[in-house]
Structure 1
Amino acid sequence: MIIRTTLPLVAEFGAKVTTAQVARAAGIAEGTIFRVFADKDELLTACMSEALQPDAVHADIAAISLDAPLADRLVEATETLSAYVTRIGTITGALHATGFRPGDPSTSEAPAPDESTSDTPTPGQSTSDEPTSDAPTARPAPPPGGRERAMMGTIAALAELFEPEVAAGTLRRSPTELATALFGMLTVLHRPGLPGPPSATDLVDLFLYGAVTREEKS
């Protein structure tokens, strides 16, 4: 609950978000946050890890029907991935823009002496001492290589969408090569400073049919 509540606040305020703001939004006493996280630095790092988690994205891609036309499958997957990439960019961009770096003690906000022990909530706040649902998922930093594993998992999920074409023998490249190319196009086009990315439909059309008209290609 704490991480889910904090994510939109991080998107708005970056590392300048306060634990008091988080507590008010979550409806809990501020000291409850510090029963789950050692300090604000650890909370923000957990938010970064949560933003990077691709499990829900992979599940959504796996749920796409292989009976649909290839273009429709890829458009649906691209829309899902675009939302994921945008979420990552929003959270990490807001944190970096406000000076947050995981492990930097200057960004930590440890509890004041009366915060971690106070059980006096503001109206509407919970006084429960039970661990929140965030406790098992709170982690001090993303594991080494986590971003690479997430990327490879995403490419593998995309590659599965080409299985009907593999069976039909209509692919010019391997599913992994095609998935890597599509994922690469999508992530590059979402980089800050570039014009707004094309729609999922336009991106898939470019991916499948290239830069010239089909008549010219033939």
Structure 2
Amino acid sequence: MAPDDRRRMIVRAVLPLVVEHGRAVTSAQIARAAGIGEGTIFRVFQDKDQLVDACVVAALDPAEALEMIGEIPAELPLEKRLAEAAEALRAHLQRIGAVMAATMKGGQRAEELRNRRAPTGDSRRESFEAMQRAVRELFVPDAERLRLPVDKAASLFLSLLFTHSRPVPGTPTTDEMIDVFLHGSVRK
């Protein structure tokens, strides 16, 4: 297996362990989860911190969610397309939150990460723009029905979804949010 492929395979296998154990995950746990020997880990990663950092980077990458959104059939009703997109993006946001929370708990490495410069605005903007493009395509088949241009509808939907990703008591369900987004909250 090529080194980059092995790195991706290890990161994918270790992400759930990082969520569960944070930086306290052991190399033995990593090896078992990835189905490899402990020595293989350190032929691919300099140390465990580098592997955990790679897990954080993987968690931030929206590619998997974007792929899922791209596979949503255009012939589904708009409400269903948006619900599927919401679930894909919510899973992505929850994974980010879980990995970040687990890796930032206590310890010297967490303090180091807190003091490190935050990711550039460019990478966050690029990620948001990729999500916006993917969600935009969900609106295109219904563009004639919309009161807003598809770009604005996609941005507004993402904004609602992002605020909806941290539910508090009484937070509407995804279906309720989509219904209000599409039909408003005032009776006709």
**Normalising by structure 1, what TM-score?**
0.71
2:119 maps to 1:149: no
Matched, 1:178 2:186: no
5+ residue gaps in structure 2? Answer: 1-8
> Please, which moves more after superposition, 26-35 or 195-204?
195-204
Is 1:72 aligned to 2:49, yes or no?
no
Name the residue aligned to 2:4: none
How much is the aligned-residue C-alpha RMSD, in angstroms?
2.4
1:200 to 166, 171, 174: 174
How many Å apart are 1:8 and its aligned residue?
A: 0.7
Q: Is the 8 A contact 1:61 1:157 kept in 2?
A: yes
User: Which stretches in structure 1 are left out of the alignment for 5+ residues?
Assistant: 105-140
Larger radius of gyration: 1
Establish whether residue 56 from structure 1 lines up as the match of residue 64 from structure 2: yes
The Cα of 1:24 is off from its aligned counterpart by: 2.8
Residue identity opposite 1:156 in structure 2: R
CA-CA distance at 1:96 after TM superposition: 1.7
Alignment of 1:149-168 (within 5 A): 149-166=126-143
Task: Name the counterpart of 1:211.
Answer: 185
C-alpha distance 97-209 of structure 1, shift in aligned 2 (>3 A): farther
| Residue aligning to 1:9 | 17
The residue identity in structure 1 corresponding to 2:176 is: D
Aligned AA (1:163): V
State the number of aligned residues.
175
2:122 and 2:32 mapped to 1: Cα distance? 35
Higher helix content, 1 or 2: 2
* Cα gap change, 1:212 to 1:97, in 2 (>3 Å): farther
Aligned-partner Cα distance in 2 for 1:143–1:102: 19
Taking every aligned residue pair, what percent have the same amino acid on both sides? 42
Relative to the length of structure 2, the TM-score reads: 0.81
